[in-house]
Amino acid sequence: MAKRVLVGMSGGVDSAACVLLLQKQGYDVSGVTLRLHHYKDRPGTCGSADDIEEAARVAAQMGISHRVLDLCDLFRREVMGHFVSEYCAGRTPNPCLDCNRELKFGAMLDWALDHGFDYVSTGHYARVEHDAGGRYLLKCATDAGKDQSYVLWRLNQEQLSRTLFPLGGLTKQEVREIAASQGLVTAHKSDSQDICFI
């Protein structure tokens, strides 16, 4: 029986290509989008209503189930709240670190395991490998210009053991070509780069 993977779908090209690559590898793939805000009509705002609609459209195009996991309260507390307190203390926090650890590879992973999934996956450009002792190692992406391992360094062994990063060995151009070859509507969607709640 195929291993089940829950893919965090942002509505962008990377997570869509992630689904395609995992399907090609024989996994049973489902999609989930994390609701982080109740914003509407703010393109590029991660976790907004627009992204949810786009992700659902892409999931339907690829023939996979899609659900929404509402994490607005957790996001407000663990990501936004921590950012504000750190910024007010004169530090320069990176909210993506907290979001990845607490939400994507925290609450989303917990939900996935509770619902019979074997792994979670995202469109991050990073890799997970094993050392000789069987320890999981987070590695940078092959494309150093797209590497996102720096926002994932806080993941622990349990989280890494349950995570797949199929884009880690690809360039952004290759990812766009994979999506375009399947006619996905997100193939040429621009990257989101801002702090999603600013």
Active centre residues (catalytic): 99, 196
Residue 188, both tokens:
């040429």
Pairing of strands 126-130, 136-140: antiparallel
Q: What is the CA radius of gyration of the chain?
A: 16
Specify the DSSP element, H or E, that contains 19. helix 13-24
Q: Which of 117, 105, 55 is nearest to 78 (CA)?
A: 105
DSSP lists the bridge partners of residue 66 as 31
H helices present in 46-94, as ranges: 49-62, 72-75, 81-88
Secondary structure (3-state) at 119? strand
- Rounded to 5, what percent of the chain is helix, strand, coil? 40, 15, 40
